[in-house]
Structure 1
Amino acid sequence: MTLGANQLPDRILRLLPATTLLLLLASCSSVQLAYNHMDRWIRWQLDDYVDLKGTQKQQLAAALDSFHRWHRQTQLPDYANYLEQLADRVQQSQFTSAELQTVEKQVRVFWDTASTQFYDLLLPLAATLDSGQIDELEENLQEKREESLEKWRSPEKIQRRRLKQIRKHSRRWLGKLSGEQEALIAEWVAQAAYNPLLRDQQRQLWQARVIELLRRKPEGYLQQLRDLIVNPQQLWSEEYRRMQDQRHRQIRSLSERILATITPEQRLHLEAALRSHAGDFRSLSHE
């Protein structure tokens, strides 16, 4: 799971964007190992932003335990079932554009359900932050934002990294890529629309609003915080919204074009990968 809603677009895998949020953990070499260490990973992430005190750490641990138990028992079986359905569809036919959009919508439902539960359990912790911790959070948010923007000062390096990541994820799902598929990926990386300055502006606006609510604590501020985290799009400018819409269309187009070129061997590889992850999720749900 990702903690920051504003970080979500950066985590999208390029080959199968429709299943990315469902399979964030599947990018690891061991789904079960990654899932069982999710609580620890989240604590590490939070430590980068704010130093919690003893009782707050206990509250965080209790919230994470509750979420993990709920997610394991109620969500993982649904993920497993859905992956098996996708595997059946891969076996039977190609994915059309309409089918990919349907998959994206279903995965969004999975994501919204899990993230809403996660934030509802974690948000009460925000009410316990003192002024010093809020200052620390603001400073670290700004530092992370500046670090992120700095990475985009070398477009060539970013393109090389993107190309490497997309190839890696593509091979994980499809096996060996054809020359045509390699060319499609390279073309997409070269043409993908993205303006890091626009993203930075939206991130800065979102972070400023969060800090303002934490400091002022107006009536109903926790609900306002929840709305900001669950739906950061409410602060998006029209220009940024158009850019994100264009990116999503480009990502879907790449998926369609690659899936239209898969060989029988790649189809078998993809089907096996989906069923393997379904089995992992089902096993985890029984632990």
Structure 2
Amino acid sequence: MTTSTADIKLHLPRKNVFATLGRIIGLLLAAAVLQSCSAIKLGYNNGPDLAYWWLDGYADFTGEQAIRLKEDLGQLQAWHRRRELPEYAKLLRQAQALMPQDVDAAQVCSEWANVRQRLDVLVVAAAPTAAQLAMTLQPQQITALEKKYARSNADFRKDWLDRSPEQVLDKRYDKALENAQTVYGRLDTEQRELLRQQVARSGLDEQTRYAERLRRQQDTLQTLRQWLARPPEPAQAVQEAREAIERLMRPSVPGQKAQEAATQQMCEGVAALHNRTTAAQRQHGLKWLAGYERDLKELAAQPQK
């Protein structure tokens, strides 16, 4: 499925499109979908407001910026509700078909690629909203964004880089266990040990993650300042917007290698754990997926407010 700005019908400024902030907006709205079934409806229906307040924490919007951004986020969600939620429901049906049987890493990676594809569509669709926002940012707002980056980077270092390897492993294992038990229910001792082993095998490199984080932030700040100093003509703006999206979504060579290795090991770990689950645990997973699918269908059918 392809997505065009005509499908989204956002109000754009007269002279440019810039997508540097598209990933922020798109992934935040996606996060409203990818949460527990019990909170999905509330989270999704409040997605535009949540996205606005989160973004406002980065740039402290003016009244005019706030009005336009809220309107555009609402229209983005209307497109997403109509076009993407049915696609998410299809992915959940595919997962339900796999749940009762053993799987291999290739099958897991195939499903994960489908999920990433949907998220990429959302990020690109959010680009027009990011465009009009980026072109209205003032120097003090870009400075505020840079300071916010610095604070969040300090938190990242505290959470990941300043910990011992064992502490990092514990943190990652706790999150993996929470996710696994959300799907399968309580894991037994042997399953927990297997999960910890798989997490320990992960090629996830926190230093590489941090370097990629800094690279994206610096690219964003540099592009925003260039556009502030020399606003491009419309045709050039469209091209630069596409290039900005590609840079943000495409890791550096070291980052790409680390990402590919981590994804492969994740697929192997998910398959290994799934193949050790009991019939009762898989039934738990089926019910969880079916409930998720039902909620998405209900959300897709709701009229946009």
**Shorter-chain TM-score: which interval?**
0.7 to 0.9
Q: Does the C-alpha gap of structure 1 residues 67 and 105 become closer, same or farther in structure 2, counting only changes over 3 Å?
A: same
**Cα RMSD, aligned residues only:** 2.7
Does 2:66 align with 1:57?
yes
State the AA in 1 paired with 2:163: S
Equivalent position to 2:184, from 162, 171, 174: 174
What secondary structure is seen at the aligned counterpart in 2 of 1:48? helix
Superposition pairs for residues 152-231 of structure 1, below 5 Å? 152=160, 153-155=162-164, 156-217=166-227, 218=230, 219=232, 220=236, 223-229=239-245, 231=247
CA distance in 1, matches of 2:216, 2:238: 15
State the AA in 2 paired with 1:97: A
What secondary structure is seen at the aligned counterpart in 2 of 1:30? helix
Q: What is residue 285 of structure 1 aligned with on the other side?
A: 300
Asked if the contact 1:193/1:247 (under 8 Å) is kept, the reply is: yes
Equivalent position to 1:121, from 121, 129, 145: 129
Does 2:158 align with 1:150?
yes
Equivalent position to 2:96, from 87, 90, 97: 87
Post-superposition Cα deviations, 1:224-253, rounded to whole Å, max 9, x if no partner, equal 3554345525451x3222222221111111
State the AA in 2 paired with 1:135: T
Superposition pairs for residues 97-112 of structure 1, below 5 Å? 97-112=105-120
How high is the sequence identity, in percent, across the aligned residues?
24
What secondary structure is seen at the aligned counterpart in 1 of 2:34? helix
Q: What is residue 281 of structure 2 aligned with on the other side?
A: 266
What secondary structure is seen at the aligned counterpart in 2 of 1:26? coil
Q: Which moved more, 1:53-62 or 1:28-37?
A: 28-37
Asked if the contact 1:49/1:140 (under 8 Å) is kept, the reply is: yes
What secondary structure is seen at the aligned counterpart in 2 of 1:157? helix
Q: Which moved more, 1:52-61 or 1:190-199?
A: 190-199
Q: What is residue 40 of structure 1 aligned with on the other side?
A: 49
Structure 1, unpaired ranges of 5+: 12-20
The structural deviation recorded for 1:85 is 3.0
Q: Which moved more, 1:189-198 or 1:224-233?
A: 224-233
CA distance in 2, matches of 1:4, 1:185: 34
The structural deviation recorded for 1:127 is 0.2
CA distance in 2, matches of 1:234, 1:30: 32
Q: Which moved more, 1:42-51 or 1:192-201?
A: 192-201
Q: Which moved more, 1:106-115 or 1:189-198?
A: 189-198
Asked if the contact 1:159/1:189 (under 8 Å) is kept, the reply is: yes
- Equivalenced residue count is 273
Runs of 4+ aligned structure 1 residues displaced above 6 Å come to none
The structural deviation recorded for 1:190 is 2.9
What secondary structure is seen at the aligned counterpart in 2 of 1:49? helix
What secondary structure is seen at the aligned counterpart in 2 of 1:262? coil
Q: What TM-score comes out, normalization by structure 2 length?
A: 0.80
State the AA in 2 paired with 1:26: Q
